[in-house]
Amino acid sequence: MAFAADDPRTDEELIDAARAGDADAFGRLTERHRHLLTAYYRRQLWDAESAEDGAQDVLLKVFRFLGRYESRARFTTFLFSVARNHGIDCVRARRSRPRVGSLEEGESMLDQREGAEPDPFESAEAREAAERLRAAIAVLPEAQRTVIRLAALEGLAHRRIAKRLSIPVGTVKSRIHTALERVRLLLAS
């Protein structure tokens, strides 16, 4: 459905229409923001399929809680608040369920490997390093995690982060500095 981009209504108008029973209004709102949610989860180092699933889950949650949405803030603020909380829930769920693979899976992956591909031990080390970084970021306080993601993963400048979070630029710089120091200490231990 590619009709969302040409819909002249604002997010709030689409929400009001969806609440009033317009079946297409929420679909238009969904199509307008699905790519942003998917990109958000991709920047959090999720794979493409998990990012799509995360976006879909968030849109379903938003639909369920549409009656609670109050237009005091922009809809995207509400949307990404739900997305952030969903991401936290997913990280917690992953920690509580260790991945179990079979020996056959590992052997078939090795059989598919060709000489031009990287050494599986190097790949394992890279995955382990990425997982350690994700885990270090995950234990940061929410305020620090948010600025790190906005700066490092979304590439936003300090000024834009400050504007998005409604905090002073100095606070953004301080949180980034503190977060990076904590991550360095966590990775060094």
Residue range(s) defining the domain that contains residue 189: 127-189
Number of domains, the chain: 2
CB-based contact 87:44 (threshold 8 Å)? yes
- How does DSSP classify residue 68? G
Q: Indicate the pTM of the whole model.
A: 0.48
Report the CATH number at residue 186: 1.10.10.10
Residues 6+ apart with CB under 8 A from 147: 161, 165, 172, 175, 176, 179
Question: How far is 173 from 179, CA to CA, in rounded Å?
Answer: 10
User: Are 93 and 17 in the same domain?
Assistant: yes
Residue 151 has pLDDT above 50, yes or no: yes
43 within some domain: yes
Looking at residue 127, its pLDDT comes to 74
Residue 101 has pLDDT above 50, yes or no: no
Considering Cα of 147, then 165, then 15, then 66, what sign does the dihedral take? positive
| Distance set, CA 40 to CA 3, 44, 66, 74, 189 (Å) | 22, 7, 21, 17, 29
User: Are 91 and 2 in the same domain?
Assistant: yes
User: Are 10 and 88 in the same domain?
Assistant: yes
Q: b/e for 92-114, b at 16 or more Cβ within 10 A?
A: eeeeeeeeeeeeeeeeeeeeeee
Residue 2 has pLDDT above 50, yes or no: no
6 within some domain: yes
Report the CATH number at residue 73: 1.10.1740.10
Higher pLDDT, 112 or 181: 181
Tens digits of per-residue pLDDT, 24-68? 888 898 899 888 888 888 877 567 788 888 888 888 888 888 877
User: How many CB atoms lie under 10 A from the CB of residue 44?
Assistant: 22
Looking at residue 94, its pLDDT comes to 65
User: Are 12 and 78 in the same domain?
Assistant: yes
pLDDT, averaged across the chain: 77
Average pLDDT over residues 4-16: 80
Where a domain ends, among 58, 76, 97? 97
User: Are 86 and 147 in the same domain?
Assistant: no
Query: What is the distance of C-alpha 118 from the center of its chain?
Result: 28
Nearest CA to 66 out of 77, 79, 81 is that of 79
119 within some domain: no
Query: What is the distance of C-alpha 176 from the center of its chain?
Result: 18
User: Are 80 and 21 in the same domain?
Assistant: yes
User: Are 93 and 132 in the same domain?
Assistant: no
User: Are 88 and 134 in the same domain?
Assistant: no
Q: How confident is the model at residue 5 (pLDDT cuts 50, 70, 90)?
A: low
